[in-house]
Structure 1
Amino acid sequence: MKTHTTTTLQKLVLEHMSPGGPGMNNAEIADWMERIPKITDDMLKIMSSAVFSLFPNKLTHRHLNQILKECTLLLDALHGYGEDMGNMQKLALMVRDCLLEIIELLWLRYSKYLDADVKMPKLLFCDAARQIERNAALMVTAMTRYHADKRLQAVVLCKMTGLLKDGSGSWHKIEYLEKLHRCIMELCTGSNCNITSKLRQLLLRANFNTSGFIAYCKAGIDTELAENYEVKDQFHCMYVYQREFSCPSYMHKFTRFAPREPKVKEVLLAYVNSELTMMEKKNRPAAVKKVIEQPVAVERYKLPMSISVDAMVYFFRLLLTAGVTTATKNELLLFLSKSFRTVEAGDQDISLKSLNNKCRQVVKNTAITVKSILLNMLKQVDGEFG
């Protein structure tokens, strides 16, 4: 809202006080210093009038945001002039305090009319950013002491560092990061436990819709899905995620970190739903065939093996890596679990988790055992066809 008050301040700061301007003598400076308190009072009355008049809310919103933007512009101009302004130094401090008082009262009294996505004055942003970066160092120490996942720490930390390098940012961004820091520090209290799960839940509730956090959550979904070998377990896993991302959050009310980007739960729910759609399409033909044929249930025969589970897994892993079987790793492990009987497992299905661990970590003794089996097989081939 253009008023004689804001116009007067603009003329003072952008013309008379500009390093490239004509400058002012001591009498002119003294005259302006006497006028500053009156200018401040006039501006506060204008703000109050805009709110308590008969203006519609939309117009009040526009007027007060215009005042906020103009005060920010003038503060940034003063900030850019440098600290040494010669004989105008005292006047510059008075003008700065005047603008800061106006901005402070705007947020204190009329925040519901203000747009938090506009940029902060550089002076205030740098002070806030400096404090956030100091707090971030303490927060990392606390999160590490409570065993938070290093990858998740990095996802949070990358948004709390480098603020000073950016040089500017919105009121919303600073307020969000300050609140997030307080909430994370609340997790790092009490008994020394792993807070990774709690930190992930906090970031979901806080709508931390950054690309890094969304990628972290998707990777977690993919990892858990890969650890489930049965189709029914895979569907159950995805349904649990679907329910989690469908439920609204009631604790730690936050607006989105990136206000113009979709909510984090919306993005993750769409990802889960798309995965479920592909899984349903992949498994539908087998389900239809099963209904039509209605086969008689028979007891699965387990082939007895004279070698250990470790040697059996490594032997079949070699078949997989050599391309003898074209099954996926999960399909192969599921087949081994249900189709073979070993001395250790007996008639029970071999644990899929155990099979997966043995497949990933092969010891030298196991490799020597399998090598001797393969050499014995080669001798048999040579004996029959050599």
Structure 2
Amino acid sequence: MRTPTTTTLRDLIVNEMNVEKHTMTPEEIGLHCQTLPVIQEEMFKILDFFRRSIFNREMVRRQIHQIQTECAGLINALDRYTNLPELMQPLKTAVMKCLDEISQKLDTDFETYLNLDIRMPLIYLRGIQAEIQSDIAMVSAGFKKHGADPKLQAIILESITDVAKAIQVENYRVRYVKSLQYSLISLCNRASNHEINNDLCELLLTLNYNPDAFVKYYRSRITRELSEIYELKEQFNYLYLEEKMLDSHPMRKYKLAFDRSRKKAREILILFVRAELSYLQKRESILHPDPVTMPVVVNPVAYSPRPGSSYKIRFSLSVDALAYLIRLMIQAKVIESGVRTELLSFIAGCVQTPGIGSNGISPTSLGVKYKQVVQSTANQIRAALKRMLHILDTEFPLER
């Protein structure tokens, strides 16, 4: 469909305002300045027609993509006119304002129809890059404050800096990096030093931060932690738990990604974990030719505090709260975790929570909840700790 962006505005910017093709007179400039509001109003009517039309979504999407692409091209063409005569500067300002208004209406009324794969106009990109550059210092300071892994820091900051310095960047990636910076700053404001690397990795997986460097980092992390576990059974447990965590990881938006041309980070990592599991199973079959059924989790009975005893500690809060309480005690160095899977399996075998059946707590479930804490769980633990502090203050009041 032909619109003012394909006809009048295009001819004005590409031909009449090009000093190498045409020299505009004051009368021509004045006439164009007067007609620009009419062109803008006509474009708004066309967009309102699409917004209320009975056409199917795909037809509307194609029209919006066309207008969006044309606007971006015309904005870039106009921005390249850096040596226009002084007489033409008011016209350039008026044309840019007209294109800005059309672009803003597209963003406001047709957000779900926009083509985020096209490159952002350079004049817009420069402004957002300045914001990204100023926020890099805040992100870096937060990482250093909490002692984040230098390798992980470098991966994140390098990818953000690349976008901040690029000449051409797709719309989706600019939006993604802005959102990523906001999430990283928020995390650094609330995270603890002890768990910062785990929290960072969980956040990046949730945001589908999928550059190759991060995927390789996470793979090496799994490989390193796996090498620190000597028992084959424990290695199986570790990988099963990692697979479950990755497979159940929440995604905020389906198309959210640092690089939309690549698979989701968690999908790549799940394939890696399953390949490691397959390798362990083959190694087990070689070491033990007789069929052996490998358990998904460590048998809690093996870690029972008293062999033959069925006694369990009755815990009045949920499994989520139990997992978070263990995590807090590890972070506060009240207990030493050692191999975390062994600790969680031991606790799962000797603690009873409300609503749990005769099979008891699943160590795998406890491990997942240990990594994924929500606000309601934190509120439960906070209330319990306040009650304990009140009892402590009553029995042993502070001397004044």
More deviation, 71-80/151-160? 151-160
1:343-358 to 2 correspondence within 5 Å? none
The CA distance in 1 between the partners of 2:274 and 2:5, in whole Å, is 56
The answer to whether the Cα contact below 8 Å between 1:117 and 1:171 also exists between their aligned partners in 2 is: yes
Q: Contact 2:132–2:164 at 8 Å: present in 1 too?
A: no
Give 1:265 shift. 0.7
Counterpart contact for 2:5–2:67, Cα < 8 Å: no
Match of 1:217 in 2: 218
Report the CA distance between 1:84 and its aligned residue: 4.6
Asked whether the 8 Å contact 1:176–1:254 carries over to 2, the reply is no
Pair 1:193–1:124, CA change in 2 (3 A) = same
How far apart, CA to CA, are the structure 2 residues paired with 1:256 and 1:163?
14
Distance 1:75 1:11 in 2: 13
1:110-189 maps to which residues of 2 (within 5 A)?
110-189=110-189
In 1, distance between residues paired with 2:149 and 2:261?
Answer: 28
Q: Note the 1:172-321 alignment, pairs <5 A.
A: 172-190=172-190, 193-194=193-194, 195-249=196-250, 255-289=256-290
Q: CA deviation at 1:58?
A: 0.7
Aligned residue identity for 1:263: K
**Deviating 4+ runs (over 4 angstroms):** 250-254
Question: Any unmatched runs of 5+ in structure 1?
Answer: 292-350, 353-386
**How many Å separate the matches in 2 of 1:5 and 1:151?**
47
Query: How far apart, in 2, do the equivalents of 1:219 and 1:85 lie?
Result: 59
Amino acid at match of 1:123: I
CA distance in 1, matches of 2:116, 2:187: 27
Flag the 1:25–1:107 CA change in 2: closer, same or farther, 3 A.
Answer: same
Deviations 1:361-383 (A, max 9, x none): xxxxxxxxxxxxxxxxxxxxxxx
Rounded to whole Å, the distance in 2 between the matches of 1:153 and 1:90 is: 46
- Cα deviation for residue 192 of structure 1 reads 5.4
What is the TM-score with the length of structure 1 in the denominator?
0.72
Instruction: Output the amino acid matched with 1:107.
Output: D
Q: What is the match of residue 35 of structure 1?
A: 35
Aligned partner of 1:20 in structure 2 is 20
Q: Take 1:5 and 1:74, find their aligned partners in 2: how far apart are those partners? A: 8
Q: CA deviation digits over 1:28-85, x for unaligned, max 9?
A: 0000000011011111111111221222111100001100100100000011111654
- Aligned equivalents of 1:46 and 1:275: distance in 2? 56
Distance 2:291 2:88 in 1: 88
- Opposite residue 267 of structure 1, the aligned amino acid is I
Does the 8 Å contact 1:116/1:171 carry over to 2?
yes
Distance of aligned partners of 1:233 and 1:192 in 2 relative to their CA distance in 1, 3 Å threshold: closer
Contact persistence 1:205–1:253 (CA under 8 A): no
| Structure 2, unpaired ranges of 5+ | 293-337, 340-400
Instruction: Output one character per residue of 1:203-236: Cα deviation in whole Å (capped at 9) or x when no partner.
Output: 0111001101101100101101111112112111
| CA distance in structure 1 between the partners assigned to 2:24 and 2:143 by the alignment | 55
Contact 2:129–2:165 (CA under 8 A) maintained in structure 1 = no
Q: Which string of whole-angstrom CA distances, capped at 9 and with x for unpartnered residues, describes residues 333-365 of structure 1?
A: xxxxxxxxxxxxxxxxxx99xxxxxxxxxxxxx
Quote how far apart the aligned CAs of 1:176 are: 0.8
Distance in 2, matches of 1:149 and 1:254, equals 28
Asked if 2 retains the 8 angstrom alpha-carbon contact of 1:13 and 1:77, the reply is yes
Root-mean-square deviation (CA, aligned residues, Å) is 2.0
Q: Cα gap change, 1:259/1:5 in structure 2, threshold over 3 Å: closer, same or farther? A: closer
Partner of 2:355: none
Q: Distance in 2 between matches of 1:154 and 1:2?
A: 48
Residues 9, 251 of structure 1: CA spacing in aligned structure 2 closer, same or farther, 3 A cutoff?
Answer: closer
> How far apart are 1:2 and its partner, in Å?
2.1
3-state SS of 2:161 partner: coil
The percent of aligned pairs where both chains have the same amino acid is 29
- Measured after TM superposition, the shift of residue 125 of structure 1 is 1.0
CA 1:35/1:252 → structure 2, altered by over 3 Å: closer, same or farther? closer
